[in-house]
Chains A and B, each alone.
Chain A
Amino acid sequence: MHEDQVNDLMRTLAPQVLGVLVRRGADFGGAEDAVQEALIEAVRHWPDSPPDDPKAWLLRVAGRKLIDAQRSEAARRRREERVGDEPPPGPTEQADDTLLLLSRCCHPALSPASAIALTLRAVGGLTTAQIARAFLVPEATMAQRISRAKRTISGERFDTPGDVRAVLHVLYLIFNEGFTGEISLADEAIRLTRQLVAAEAAEPLRMDPEIAGLLALMLLHHARRAARYTASGELVPLDQQDRSLWDTSMIAEGVAVLQGALARDRLGEYQAQAAIAALHDDAPTADETDWPQILEWYDELTRLTDSPVVALNRAVAVGQVDGPRAGLAALADVDPSLSRWDAVAAHLYERADDVPRAIEHYLTAADRASSKAELTHLIKQAARLRARA
């Protein structure tokens, strides 16, 4: 077996094996360590003698490591051997395990950063070094973040999956981390959400259409990734993007997933946001965007959530449908402490031909930018208006 094949296989199988052990009642931290040790053995043996059933092989070795660890721990604490703690054999459907593992990693007792790190490590199968590089922190710091997370949830033995909405929130946060280098966290988030969709499909009764809604939202946004930044990393706003760079097959998939979710008639935030993204993706040019329908979806979203960010984006839609003055009136009701408030105000004033106010708000927005790309973009907007004035 080739080394790359071994790595790919291990990355797919590791979370599955971990899921089986955890569901059989093993402590999460101990099970994770056991799987890591089994992977080391696999790297050593598989290239020369590949197993017939790699998953069964890993499960057997990891199970043995878990018992070894429990034995030595028991000896160390001078307690009775806990051979009786060997995980009982149980069914191994992978679908259920994915949700179980994800809900463990996204446990509400964890901070978002801890849940993200643990999810990428234990379910995503990324190495600690890869996660550390993606978040631009030293490996030792990330290793600690992960082991603290494991300690926080260790001892919580529960055999039924937790709140799926908490899982969706963490996956959405991972998606929005974007990419900084070798690992695209957006791609990781999509991969994990796909697994969750597959897991839920096995149990239609418990199925929450928001899972498919989130996958659709991710696909419909990610389809525009090639058009969103210039080669030098400058931000390209939606209305100026080269739409021929959009990934049409990803858009088609996103629309199909969304339609499937909406058909179940249990609307939620992710589905509504995906519907808005789909309307943008559907327009051949920016001018042909169906803003009235987008505004209707924002009204729907406002009924679903009191999120001030939704209110802010709704003001943009109002500006497109009823004109910039109406947009500014809607904006007046939105909390101005939101970081993108000034950027929206600047855009609306520009469209209302109030250039001095637009410049002023672009500059205030630049002071409040959270990323370098956003900062450069906002300063350029102010510079563009000044050059015109």
Chain B
Amino acid sequence: MAKYLLLKHYRRSGPAPVPGTDAPMDEWTPEEITAHIDYMRRFAEKLTERGEFVSESALLPEGTFVRYDGEGRPPVTDGPFAETKDLIAGFMIIDVESQERAYEAAAELSAAPGQGGRPIYEWLEVRPFLTESLTTAE
């Protein structure tokens, strides 16, 4: 088994959105939003049932950069930056048998219903984890 991070971007520096799927959520009907949220919840449940779910979270768009500034000094902050080119909207971590299965799961997440009940065809970035365990083989 291997862990993968499925990243949801707010503004994509990656591939262009599929035409006709880029209407922001505030232009959807309330029922469409509910259907979308329901789909996401069921998707996470289904992954748990398959023994593949690890974790998920959504993130606020606003982020602040923070760094060390020397002994005894408070952290330096910069930002917030709300208008950067690419922002992470949320993530899901899954533990699956193969890369193929990770892609399949990402595609299912990307098929979540949007405006008019049509799939949103959202691009998700799939990133493999480095393993943490100290392996026995050399």
Chain A interfacial positions (CB closer than 8 Å to B):
111-114, 117, 135-138, 140-142, 144-146, 148, 175-180, 186, 221-222, 225, 228-229, 233, 237-238, 369-373, 375
Contact at A370–B130, with CB atoms within 8 Å? yes
| Complex alpha-carbon distance, A6 and B3, angstroms | 36
Are A180 and B134 also in contact (CB < 8 A) when A111-B97, A137-B95 are? Answer: yes
Instruction: Please tell me which one of the listed residues B48, B49, B135 contacts residue A177 in the complex, with CB atoms under 8 A apart.
Output: B135
| Chain A residues near B52 (CB-CB < 8 A) | 141
* Chain B, 44-64, CB within 8 A of any chain A CB: 47-55
Are A371 and B135 also in contact (CB < 8 A) when A141-B54, A145-B51 are? Answer: yes
| Chain A residues near B132 (CB-CB < 8 A) | 136, 180, 371-372
| Complex alpha-carbon distance, A372 and B49, angstroms | 29
Contact at A372–B131, with CB atoms within 8 Å? yes
Q: Which single residue of chain A is at the shortest CB-CB distance from B138?
A: A238
- The residue in B47, B54, B131, B134 that gathers the most chain A C-beta atoms within 10 A of its C-beta is B134
| Chain B residues near A375 (CB-CB < 8 A) | 130
Q: Which single residue of chain A is at the shortest CB-CB distance from B134?
A: A178
| Chain A residues near B50 (CB-CB < 8 A) | 144-145, 148
Are A233 and B131 also in contact (CB < 8 A) when A141-B52, A141-B95, A144-B48 are? Answer: no
Instruction: Please tell me which one of the listed residues A137, A148, A180, A237 contacts residue B54 in the complex, with CB atoms under 8 A apart.
Output: A137
- Across the A-B interface, give the 9 residue pairs with the lowest CB-CB distance, nearest first: A145-B51, A178-B135, A371-B131, A113-B1, A180-B133, A144-B51, A178-B136, A178-B133, A186-B136
Contact at B51–A371, with CB atoms within 8 Å? no
| Complex alpha-carbon distance, A196 and B52, angstroms | 30
* Additional 9 contacts, C-beta under 8 A, given A371-B133, A372-B131: A113-B97, A138-B48, A141-B51, A146-B51, A148-B49, A177-B133, A178-B134, A179-B133, A180-B132
Contact at A222–B136, with CB atoms within 8 Å? yes
Contact at A141–B48, with CB atoms within 8 Å? yes
Contact at B138–A148, with CB atoms within 8 Å? no
Contact at A372–B130, with CB atoms within 8 Å? yes
| Chain A residues near B95 (CB-CB < 8 A) | 135-137, 141
A277 to chain B, nearest CB (A): 9
- Does B76 count as interface, using CB distance less than 8 angstroms? no
Contact at B54–A373, with CB atoms within 8 Å? no
Q: Which single residue of chain A is at the shortest CB-CB distance from B54?
A: A137
- Does B66 count as interface, using CB distance less than 8 angstroms? no
A190 to chain B, nearest CB (A): 10
Are A138 and B55 also in contact (CB < 8 A) when A178-B134, A180-B132, A371-B131 are? Answer: yes
- Does B18 count as interface, using CB distance less than 8 angstroms? no
B102 to chain A, nearest CB (A): 13
- Does B16 count as interface, using CB distance less than 8 angstroms? no
| Chain A residues near B97 (CB-CB < 8 A) | 111-113
Contact at B131–A140, with CB atoms within 8 Å? no
| Chain A residues near B130 (CB-CB < 8 A) | 369-372, 375
Are A135 and B135 also in contact (CB < 8 A) when A141-B53, A369-B130 are? Answer: no
Contact at A148–B51, with CB atoms within 8 Å? yes
A169 to chain B, nearest CB (A): 14
A310 to chain B, nearest CB (A): 13
| Chain B residues near A137 (CB-CB < 8 A) | 51, 53-54, 95
Q: Which single residue of chain B is at the shortest CB-CB distance from A111?
A: B97
A180 to chain B, nearest CB (A): 5
Are A373 and B134 also in contact (CB < 8 A) when A113-B1, A135-B1 are? Answer: yes
- The residue in B47, B52, B55, B95 that gathers the most chain A C-beta atoms within 10 A of its C-beta is B95
| Chain B residues near A179 (CB-CB < 8 A) | 133-134
Q: Which single residue of chain A is at the shortest CB-CB distance from B47?
A: A141
Are A176 and B1 also in contact (CB < 8 A) when A137-B54, A142-B51 are? Answer: no
| Chain A residues near B1 (CB-CB < 8 A) | 112-113, 135
Q: Which single residue of chain A is at the shortest CB-CB distance from B49?
A: A144
* Chain B, 14-55, CB within 8 A of any chain A CB: 47-55
| Complex alpha-carbon distance, A112 and B101, angstroms | 14
B58 to chain A, nearest CB (A): 18
Using an 8 Å CB-CB cutoff, how does the interface string of B90-124 with A read, 1 for contact, 0 for none? 00000101000000000000000000000000000
| Complex alpha-carbon distance, A136 and B132, angstroms | 9
B89 to chain A, nearest CB (A): 22
A269 to chain B, nearest CB (A): 14
Are A229 and B48 also in contact (CB < 8 A) when A111-B97, A113-B97 are? Answer: no
| Complex alpha-carbon distance, A16 and B72, angstroms | 61
Contact at A221–B136, with CB atoms within 8 Å? yes
B55 to chain A, nearest CB (A): 7
Contact at A229–B134, with CB atoms within 8 Å? yes
| Complex alpha-carbon distance, A246 and B57, angstroms | 44
- The residue in B49, B131, B134, B136 that gathers the most chain A C-beta atoms within 10 A of its C-beta is B136
